[in-house]
Chain A
């Protein structure tokens, strides 16, 4: 088995269809539309939205494939680096623990998808999450996966938990709350390891934090996640604090997400003008 597994080779059965961020960006409808989500005042996934159940189903499928990739990413960190030399034994133990957690999250997501009436593979699988887990430096993986990706998971699960709460869907609310607890642990794991490994290497720490920033922006693509109601997913400040993000770090992510939303809106206006 090779070290460092390419995203194109992720093994899936025939139900899945994988797309990349480039594929997604090639869909011009998402910018030229006169009825696109960013132009609406409120896009947050809440039960009062007309398409609430379908939007929630779509997001749930996104969570499902995201959990598969998080499972695969944590697993690869167990394998790709030599114990002791490239990655501490204890870090690998944490990654193995994360494998179990992510495997349970896949199981939970499958059960919730059944509950919501979705089928496996009903939506495309964007492989951007695993790409963030492909770095050759374990510290960059921790920054990209445990802090950016799992940070996004905190935001997504909070949004879904609130959705269940408002809709009176206790099944959804219960499961999302449990997953949220795990994700807070994973982010904290990433924050602690990042600090520990780069304690005497400020340059490596800076590189990792810069990488996290890139991934955070990638995951805020189109303002999908921000504190604005125009974004389908909110920024879960309280749970991020629990996970070890300080106020300044959360403010940076908030600004970055809003900037992504504004960039997106500007791109939409430009594309519409060109289209008309």
Chain B
């Protein structure tokens, strides 16, 4: 029988969590605010596109994914006050003007024959950037002080990976000609260049490296 009085270490030998982390409370809140803004813009776009895509399977996937990103936005919205931001709207902002441009370019396609562009923007550009930003945050924040953010990140990353796979398979099933391969690649390149200027989901330093603004990237 275990001895109830015997002292035990507060961290079990297999628990390798560390106290230090890369982000201050303020930086963590800033990033979370940017996540919320981006997730919000994404779920709004997905919702708007549902009526514009004729492919029934895509229409239904967009409906399901719209909710997932809304839920992510909600998780970040609830996390902000816990990071000392009592007015979540104050930090619910784009990290910079380039990110605003990115959302404008992402949501530009509307015509029913542009499903490839709509999906490429989300699943080959935006969601991979979410995965990078979230993974960087998860791997660099304090295991102990920022555990609530990490828990949300894990849930959200699970969704992002699943949605990325769904979206990529839809894109592959829609691309039937070399010309469509070029269309997809061209649209991806255009959006990637804007995101390059933005520096990622949370701006420069999203995944650790500083990405000084590079005007040529947008052109």
A residues near B (Cβ < 8 Å) are 1-2, 5, 9-13, 68, 71-72, 74-80, 83-84, 89, 92-93, 95-97, 99-100, 102-104, 106-107, 120, 130
| Assembly CA distance A74 to B67 (angstroms) | 11
Partner of A12, one of B54, B70, B89, B109: B54
- Nearest Cβ in chain A — how far from B92, in angstroms? 8
Q: Is the CB of B59 within 8 A of A79?
A: no
20 A-B pairs besides A93-B71, A93-B73 with CB distance below 8 A are A1-B49, A11-B59, A13-B54, A71-B60, A71-B63, A72-B59, A75-B48, A78-B44, A78-B47, A89-B40, A89-B77, A92-B43, A96-B47, A96-B66, A96-B71, A99-B50, A99-B63, A100-B68, A106-B60, A120-B56
Interface string of B33-67 (1 = CB under 8 A from A): 00000001001111111111111100111111011
Residues on A with C-beta less than 8 A from B56 are: 13, 68, 106, 120
A96 near B51 with CB under 8 A, answer no
Let me know if B81 is at the binding interface, CB within 8 A. no
* Assembled-state Cα–Cα distance A80/B47 (Å): 9
User: Which secondary structure dominates where chain A touches chain B?
Assistant: helix
- What are 6 A-B pairs at a CB distance below 8 A? A13-B54, A80-B48, A84-B89, A96-B67, A103-B60, A106-B60
Please, which residue of chain B has its CB at the minimum distance from the CB of A102? Answer: B63
Contact of B148 with A by CB under 8 A = no
Contact B46 A75 (CB under 8 A): yes
Shortest C-beta distance, B163 to chain A (Å), equals 12
Q: Is the CB of B54 within 8 A of A72?
A: no
Residue ID in chain A nearest B54 by CB atoms: A11
Known: A13-B56, A103-B63. A75 touches B89 (CB 8 A): no
Which of under 10, 10 to 19, 20 to 34, or 35 or more describes the interface residues of B? 35 or more
CB of B74 closer than 8 Å to a CB of A = yes
Task: Determine if B63 and A75 form an interchain contact, defined as CB atoms under 8 angstroms apart.
Answer: yes
Closest chain A CB from B40 CB (angstroms): 6
A99 in contact with B51 (CB, 8 Å): no
Say which residue of A13, A76, A107 sits within 8 Å of B47 (CB atoms): A76
| A residues less than 8 Å from B48 (CB atoms) | 1, 5, 75-76, 78-80
Closest beta carbon of chain A to B48's beta carbon, Å: 3
A10 to B56, CA, bound (A): 12
Question: Residue B208 at the A interface, CB < 8 A?
Answer: no
- CB-CB under 8 A from A92, the residues of chain B are 43-44, 70
With the chains together, A104 CA to B66 CA distance in Å? Answer: 13
List 7 tightest A-B contacts by C-beta distance, closest first: A79-B48, A78-B47, A103-B63, A96-B70, A100-B67, A75-B47, A75-B50
Known: A5-B52, A93-B74. A68 touches B59 (CB 8 A): yes
Question: Please, how many angstroms separate the alpha-carbon atoms of A153 and B47 in the complex?
Answer: 21
Residues on the A chain within 8 Å of B89, using CB: 84
Q: Are B110 and A1 in contact (CB under 8 A)?
A: yes
